[in-house]
Amino acid sequence: MFCVECGSEDELYGHLCRNCLLSKNLVVPPEYLTVEVCSSCFKVMEGSVWKAMPHEDMASTLLATATKTHSQVEKVRWTVPNFSAEKGEHRILCTAHALIGREELDLDFEVRMRIRLQRCPSCSRQAGDYYEAILQLRIDGLDLKKAEVELAIEIDIVFKTLDEHAGTAENAFLTKYSPVKGGMDFYLGSLALARILANKFRSRFGAVINESPSLVGMKDGKDLYRSSILVRFPSIREGDVVALDRTVHVVESGDGKILVLKNVRNGKIVRVPTGDVHLRIVAKFHEIKEAVVVTHDRSSIQILDPDSMVAVTVSKPPYLKRFGETVPVVRYDDALYVV
Ligand SMILES: [Zn+2]
Ligand SMILES: [Zn+2]
């Protein structure tokens, strides 16, 4: 067998030798490519589906579909470099990787990329202040000014969960959120997502959940409901420091009914009901201070009182095996405790 064009007896690709094959148009990209990008969330459209992925990745997927290839090219994929998603036409140098036999051939092309900006359905609903549920996070007696500090972990969970679902759930967006008396309110585009969050808070922190729908109007002949999901957290929580019968304890965990407490003097664990009348809060987890360690031995630590900067010697909790230049402390009954 030999090449039908030059007669070479080298390895053949179909009827052609490698040199003759490379002289052909192996890859023909489209004249231009349009990528639809959402102007607010930067999702990109594939067919009629909005997807959370970089516009460059979508461009390479669309390019592969729109590219014409020589019959000897088994497969083509594209590398599209980073470029800004500004509207209009961009001339971008892209690389086609054409699979021929066992070999991948790299070919550069300047591709005309047209970026078209619009709003995806969830962003357009969001722009109209659309929401299906208000997730109300509450702690008894919480000051409005402290809500964001006290609920920092929960707020983080809300945003992380929204991120996780942004690519798959249609209305996984936050219309607005604000601290209120007793906690935080989150206005969510998706009731399903609000329920997922409420369940997370129930299983992780022992929160008590109460969902109440209210009729807000009609849409397309159907009743339109919005739901308020009240999430009540226990007032004593993981990481807080409490006094039980005047002995300082750290809250190890709590499921809403039982608190697991660790004695800072001897490390002993006790379990008490959440509503135990002998319990007093010494410090919320975010009120715990750090004190500089001056020196320490097996059972005691000399620290600088964080308020007066005077050196004081206090007993070292037996569970505190390793620590750095500072240790967490609380003040109770005018004495400092390392916790
Ligand atoms: Zn040839
Ligand atoms: Zn969007």
Cα of 179 from ligand 2 centre, angstroms: 25
Q: Which ligand number lies closest to the CA of residue 120?
A: 2
Report d(CA 195, CA 203) in Å as an integer.
12
**Burial tier of 309 (Cβ tally within 10 Å: 0-12, 13-18, 19+):** exposed
CA triple 277-278-283, angle to 5 deg? 105
pLDDT in tens, 269-310: 999 998 888 899 999 988 899 898 989 998 899 999 988 888
Which ligand is located closest to the Cα atom of residue 52? 2
Q: What are the residue boundaries of the structural domains of the chain, listed by start?
A: 22-118, 122-233, 241-338
Longest dimension (CA), the chain: 99
CATH no. for 22-118: 2.60.40
Q: What number is the average pLDDT over the span 218-235?
A: 85
Average pLDDT over residues 94-107: 92
Q: Which ligand gives the minimal distance to the CA of 126?
A: 2
User: How confident is residue 224, by pLDDT bands cut at 50, 70 and 90?
Assistant: confident
The dihedral region occupied by 295, where left means phi > 0, alpha psi between -120 and 50, and beta the remainder, is beta
What ligand is nearest to the CA atom of residue 44? 2
Distance CA 260, CA 238 (A): 9
Which residue in this structure is represented by tokens 């407490």? Answer: 261
How close is the Cα of 39 to the center of ligand 2, in Å? 7
Residue type, 327: V
Q: Which residue has the tokens 């809060």?
A: 281
Please give all residues whose CB falls under 5 A of ion ligand 1, grouped by chain where several chains appear. 3, 5-6, 8, 17, 20
DSSP category for residue 236 = S
Which ligand has its closest atom nearest to the C-alpha of 122?
2
pLDDT digits (tens, 9 = 90+) for 116-170: 888 887 887 777 778 899 999 999 878 887 888 888 889 989 988 988 887 777 7
CA of 200 to the centre of ligand 2 (A): 26
How far, in Å, is the centroid of ligand 1 from the Cα of 20?
4
Closest ligand to residue 38's CA: 2
Whether 244 contacts 261, CB under 8 Å: yes
**Half-sphere exposure (CA, 13 Å, Cβ side) for 216?**
12
Q: List, for residues 176-210, the tens digit of each pLDDT value.
A: 888 888 999 999 989 999 999 999 999 888 899 99
DSSP H helices, 30-179, are 55-66, 121-127, 147-150, 152-166
Enter the tokens of residue 160: 């992380």
**What's this model's pTM, rounded to 2 decimal places?**
0.60
